[in-house]
Structure 1
Amino acid sequence: MCGRYALGIRASFVRHQLQQQGLPVDEAPDDDEARETYNFPPGAYGLVYRADVPDQGAPADNEENGDAAEVTNTQPESYNYQIKTMKWGLIPFWTKRSPDYGSMLKTINCRDDSLIEDRGMWTTMKRKKRCLVVAQGFYEWLKKGPGGKEKVPHFVKRKDGNLMCFAGLWDCVQYEDSGDGSAGEKLYTYTIITTDSNKQLKFLHDRMPVILEPDTEAIKIWLDPKRNKWSKELQSLLKPFEGELECYPVSKEVGKVGNNSPDFIIPVDSKENKNNIANFFGNAKAKKKESMKENPEGKVEETRSTIDHESTEDNAPLPVPEPVLGKKHTLEEDDTQPDAKQQKLSSPGKSSSPSKTTEEKIASSLSKTTAGKTVSPQKTTGRTPRSGTSNAGATMKTSPNKNTEKGTQRITSFFGK
């Protein structure tokens, strides 16, 4: 049987794929009209490919004399073909009221052997309302353990990666007025035809959907509206798939209808499956090994850019001072003019008079007089700003061989007295 399948792609992509496989598409729904899910359940609205015929089905011009069964020269070009949104779970046209969910589940599949005799609820549909149900693949549960209590979901798809085209039947119903406002509304529904499993899937289940090959004579015959009488030729198309399929176990989360994930169609033991906890830890180890190969010593490279500033409170590293061009300064030469250097520290940008005494220099560094008012100097934070010159951080030492004259002594000498 087929009770769940995958269709997690847009209607526009389905249209493109069918056209690439040789099936003409004259009309298709918008992307938001069909449900995109990797866990497609009964009762949802899927995509159905069919000939554009009236809701009653193809006209039965030759039905009385039986000539339709002998038609061999099909003319599909005289009909338009469309992708239409329909509800999964066929509801016959004679139904008066909306059936409950349990009743609808009985018609999500149609057995091929139930179509052999020309009678039953499928008679009208198999003559005039044949279609293809589009899917990426379908799910089936393998029963394991004592009594088959453990069920392992498997996903089946075409090995070539093309879309699956299930043989199906469709119908259109209009309910009577039941007080819910549904009277007069047309509801299109469909069912999927099943047959015996092929050799590849016998271990999984004894039934499988009828899969038709795109761009083949079989599909042209199945969809031909002029073949409006059931025949042995049509019945012979309903057989196990002879092509190559892929079948593998997938996540058990697909068992719940409300779940949806692209991982549902990926093998459960695949490296691409993010839900596999073994893959999660395996990927973490692989990433760690790769990082160790690239950086075996575990060094962290500095990637921050430097900026030119005079403060040390930024996170970025300080720039390397540029060398001062011109005359080279030595410690001895700097010591010969301590007053000038001290003047720069106390009052940058202003030159001091050489006639000022040491006491006056100290007084001017402690306070500033402006227009007769004394302004106290701003408090410092205890940080010494770094100078842009190369000798700003050099320690000033007095040469032991030089005698300093009065007035040229350092300020430290003054406080030491």
Structure 2
Amino acid sequence: MCGRYASARKKHELLEEFQVEQDASPDEELQPDYNVAPTKQVYAVLSRVPKDAEGGESAAGAGEDRSGRGQRSGRAVRQLRVLRWGLVPVWAKDPSIGSRMINARLETVAEKPAFKRAFASRRCLLPADGYFEWMPIEGEKKKKQPFYIHPEDDGVLAMAGLYEFWKDPTRADDDPQKWLVTCTVITTQAEDDLGHIHDRMPMMIERERWAEWLDPKLTDIEQASRLLVPADAGRLVAYPVSTDVNSVRNNGPHLIEPQQPEEESALF
């Protein structure tokens, strides 16, 4: 699974890196976060079809009515938004379910009731600098060594994600918090180089497939599934880091600094 990641790039860097046309959360600037955890606010790149020529949006988001149905005609606009990590399906009775929906498995994402509607037309990219996984320490029943996994060239990771709109039935229609927008990370089987740490890893979308992955008009499940190709072996590297990352209360660049593992001989 992917339960923690680092996202320290500033908004203007992401706007440029992902060639974003619209900052859809102009009043929100997230601080560098080296310990992104479920239910936190995160940046997401997605494409939406404006509801009118001026590119205005409804509370539920451009291109859809508030039920989440019916994309409008027109060209999709690439946006950067702030969403909450942990997908809340449209049919959920309350948003607490989101804490259990932080990952969607590649093998079942197109079939699971919680994800299949979003997979058909609400796909996104979740920018990250790297992510964390924990490896059991041989001979220690309760101890695990955290590893930081990131691109060897220190480039940005574009994790495959889905997003969804959820309407809070307890709030008035004119309440700005009536609609909650959430997301999840798609995971896949870890490549051989990383599989000894953990058997799952986030699915990455390579730059040449960004536009097609984000296209809300691509609703063919099989075609969308073909865009999910595991990262080339060797592109990602891993090293042990401090167990300080175990606590969501800890944050800062020291969390991604290389450390000697507690039981180095047992880890390799």
What range describes the TM-score normalised by the shorter chain of this pair? 0.7 to 0.9
Q: Which runs of 5+ in 1 are unaligned?
A: 62-76, 270-417
1:85 to 82, 96, 105: 82
Residue in 2 that maps onto 1:142: 135
Residue in 1 that maps onto 2:98: 104
Amino acid at match of 1:161: D
In the TM superposition, 1:151-162 aligns within 5 A as: 151-162=144-155
In the TM superposition, 1:269-308 aligns within 5 A as: 269=260
Question: Deviation string for 1:128-171 (max 9, x for gaps)?
Answer: 10110111110001111335422111001111111100001000
Residue 33 of structure 2 corresponds to residue 37 of structure 1: yes
Amino acid at match of 2:22: E
Give the Cα–Cα distance (whole angstroms) in 1 for the partners of residues 13 and 27 of structure 2.
Answer: 9
The structure with the largest alpha-carbon Rg is 1
Residue in 2 that maps onto 1:24: 19
Give the Cα–Cα distance (whole angstroms) in 2 for the partners of residues 178 and 185 of structure 1.
Answer: 6
TM-score, normalised to structure 2, is 0.82
Change (3 A) 1:58 1:227: farther
In the TM superposition, 1:355-374 aligns within 5 A as: none
- Which structure has more relative contact order (CA 8 Å, sep 6+)? It is 2
Q: Which runs of 5+ in 2 are unaligned?
A: 50-62, 261-268
Residue 225 of structure 2 corresponds to residue 238 of structure 1: no
**Other structure's SS at 1:132 match:** strand
User: In the TM superposition, what is the alpha-carbon distance from 1:112 to its structure 2 partner?
Assistant: 0.6
Residue in 2 that maps onto 1:364: none
Amino acid at match of 1:113: E
Question: Deviation string for 1:239-263 (max 9, x for gaps)?
Answer: 4311511100011101100101101
**Other structure's SS at 1:113 match:** coil
Give the Cα–Cα distance (whole angstroms) in 2 for the partners of residues 189 and 159 of structure 1.
Answer: 30
| Identical amino acids, percent of aligned pairs | 29
Amino acid at match of 1:227: L
Paired residues of 1:10 and 1:31 also in contact (CA < 8 A): no
Paired residues of 1:251 and 1:264 also in contact (CA < 8 A): yes
Residue 197 of structure 2 corresponds to residue 207 of structure 1: no
Paired residues of 1:125 and 1:169 also in contact (CA < 8 A): yes
Residue 115 of structure 2 corresponds to residue 122 of structure 1: yes
Give the Cα–Cα distance (whole angstroms) in 2 for the partners of residues 49 and 96 of structure 1.
Answer: 27
Change (3 A) 1:227 1:25: same
Residue in 1 that maps onto 2:12: 12
Residue in 1 that maps onto 2:58: none
Give the Cα–Cα distance (whole angstroms) in 1 for the partners of residues 31 and 183 of structure 2.
Answer: 15
Question: Deviation string for 1:6-50 (max 9, x for gaps)?
Answer: 01232122223x1xxxx4211223484324310111010000000
Residue 253 of structure 2 corresponds to residue 259 of structure 1: no
Give the Cα–Cα distance (whole angstroms) in 2 for the partners of residues 235 and 246 of structure 1.
Answer: 26
Paired residues of 1:95 and 1:175 also in contact (CA < 8 A): no
Paired residues of 2:42 and 2:85 also in contact (CA < 8 A): yes
TM-score, normalised to structure 1, is 0.54
Dislocated runs of 4+, deviation >3 Å = 29-33, 181-184
Amino acid at match of 2:104: C
Structure having the higher helix fraction is 1
**Other structure's SS at 1:248 match:** strand
Give the Cα–Cα distance (whole angstroms) in 1 for the partners of residues 178 and 32 of structure 2.
Answer: 24
Residue in 1 that maps onto 2:164: 171
**Other structure's SS at 2:155 match:** coil
- The number of residues matched between the two structures is 241
Change (3 A) 1:60 1:15: closer
* RMSD of aligned Cα (Å): 2.5
Give the Cα–Cα distance (whole angstroms) in 1 for the partners of residues 30 and 70 of structure 2.
Answer: 25
Paired residues of 2:171 and 2:177 also in contact (CA < 8 A): no
Give the Cα–Cα distance (whole angstroms) in 2 for the partners of residues 113 and 160 of structure 1.
Answer: 29
